[in-house]
Amino acid sequence: MTDEQLLTTPEVAERLGISTRRVLALIQSGRLPSQQFGRDHLVKENDLKLVEDRKPGRPPKVKTETGSKASKKESHK
């Protein structure tokens, strides 16, 4: 049996420099494995390597032709 340290979501957030909500989003998306203990998620310290190289910030929104303001303005001309 190995002595892998389990971290709480606040500890993971502090180590990665992100919010606890972002940690939970990574867990829910399957990018960060965790073990659920009651209502808390515990993450193996070694698993932090899986998300350390992620892109910072929010992913860009996908722009669509039908919903953009530019296409609405063009249709009124």
Does some domain include residue 70? no
**In the predicted model, is pLDDT for residue 18 greater than 80?**
yes
**Interval 36-75: pLDDT, tens:** 999 999 999 999 999 887 766 666 677 776 655 555 555 5
What pLDDT shows up at residue 1?
Answer: 44
Question: How sure is the predictor about 32, in pLDDT bands with cuts at 50, 70 and 90?
Answer: very high
- The dihedrals phi and psi of 37, each to the nearest 5 degrees, come to -125, 100
Domain span at residue 32?
1-53
The total number of structural domains in the chain stands at: 1
User: Of 29, 75, 69, 74, which Cα lies nearest the Cα of 51?
Assistant: 29
Does some domain include residue 75? no
H/E stretch holding 8: strand 6-8
CA distances from 24 to 19, 48, 51 (A): 9, 13, 12
CATH of the domain at 45: 1.10.10.10
Does some domain include residue 48? yes
